[in-house]
Amino acid sequence: MSTHTLKGKNVLVAAGAKNLGGLISRQAAEAGANVAIHYNSESTRPQAEETLAAVEAAGTRGVILTGNLTKPQAVEQLFADAEATLGTIDVAVNTVGKVLRKPIVETSEDEYDSMFDINSKAAYFFIKEAGLRLNDGGKIITIVTSLLAAFTDGYSTYAGGKSPVEHFTRAAAKEFAGRGISVTAIAPGPMDTPFFYGQETPERVAFHKSQALGGELTKIEDIAPIVSFLATDGWWITGQTIFANGGYTTR
């Protein structure tokens, strides 16, 4: 039986400085968790520091850490550094992702490699390291995309790069079950963040909005509470991909 609270737990959020990751970090602290906030590029450091300040203002401990998680050694270092500051991690959340909208015939090998490194390889080794290091009864949560259930053009390397995470999640859920660790993936719909708008035309944005409840895009505020739920009361859900998209698409 898992504990149903984050109070006193240690949470690691990959890409936890801004947008969805930043909100997850803040809500974890508000729920009583200590939070390790990972960021990738130096340009994001100011947001990481703002999120750290919010975590500390909530009365819990935090730390900001950086690293290129497409390198397995950097993933190992991230967990080691988080443990050194906070103690053994209880909840590991990976919000790392990169979006590219481009026809297959225009996609280069470098673009393909980058998309799969960020969306697939980093996710694999994050799950691996979490499986090695998490406390018994821990939780591993990866953000994927509702494009996994869509039939559309343009997103071959994004949907393709995220799709293996479902298989990683299922395998890890079985392999880590003996230690009471649940492993899940959340698939948001098109999200109202800068990552989305850079890839789409106004007409396509309007279409995406028209496909979901209330004619809205998915908001980070729609997804972060699901992360909180899976990390606490929802611990019995494991090996699943949860399509949280306001009815945008399903299987």
Q: Is residue 176 part of a domain?
A: yes
Q: So what's the pLDDT on residue 204?
A: 87
Q: Is residue 251 part of a domain?
A: no
Q: Is residue 39 part of a domain?
A: yes
Domain CATH number, residue 94: 3.40.50.720
Question: 230-246: per-residue pLDDT in tens?
Answer: 999 999 999 999 999 99
Mean pLDDT calculated for residue range 44-65: 98
Q: So what's the pLDDT on residue 1?
A: 41
Q: Residue 136 and residue 117: Cα distance in Å, rounded?
A: 29
Q: Is residue 41 part of a domain?
A: yes
Cβ proximity of 116 and 161 under 8 Å: yes
Cβ proximity of 21 and 15 under 8 Å: yes
Q: Residue 139 and residue 41: Cα distance in Å, rounded?
A: 26
**Residue 219: is its pLDDT beyond 90?**
yes
Q: So what's the pLDDT on residue 21?
A: 98
Q: Is residue 3 part of a domain?
A: no
Q: So what's the pLDDT on residue 201?
A: 86
Q: So what's the pLDDT on residue 193?
A: 80
Query: Is residue 112 very low, low, confident or very high in pLDDT (cuts 50, 70, 90)?
Result: very high
Report the chain's mean pLDDT, rounded to a whole number: 95
Q: Residue 46 and residue 135: Cα distance in Å, rounded?
A: 31
Q: CA–CA distance from 236 to each of 4, 138, 149, 153 (Å)?
A: 11, 11, 24, 35
- The shares of helix, strand and coil residues in the chain, as percent rounded to the nearest 5, are 50, 15, 35
Domain span at 206:
10-244
Q: So what's the pLDDT on residue 139?
A: 98
Q: So what's the pLDDT on residue 3?
A: 61
Q: So what's the pLDDT on residue 200?
A: 81
Q: Is residue 4 part of a domain?
A: no
Whose structure tokens read 């390291």?
Answer: 129
> Which H or E run contains 243?
strand 241-244
Residue 246 Cα to chain centre, angstroms: 19
Question: 191-217: per-residue pLDDT in tens?
Answer: 888 767 677 888 888 998 999 999 999
Q: Is residue 61 part of a domain?
A: yes
Question: 155-197: per-residue pLDDT in tens?
Answer: 999 999 999 999 999 999 999 999 999 999 999 999 888 767 6
Task: Give the whole-number percent of the chain exceeding pLDDT 70.
Answer: 98
Q: Is residue 1 part of a domain?
A: no
Q: What is the pTM of this model?
A: 0.96
Looking at residue 135, the DSSP 8-state letter turns out to be P
Q: So what's the pLDDT on residue 194?
A: 74
| Structural domain count of the chain | 1
Which tokens in the block code for residue 183? 């492993």
**Residue 87: is its pLDDT beyond 50?**
yes
Question: 35-45: per-residue pLDDT in tens?
Answer: 999 999 999 99
Task: Give the whole-number percent of the chain exceeding pLDDT 90.
Answer: 90
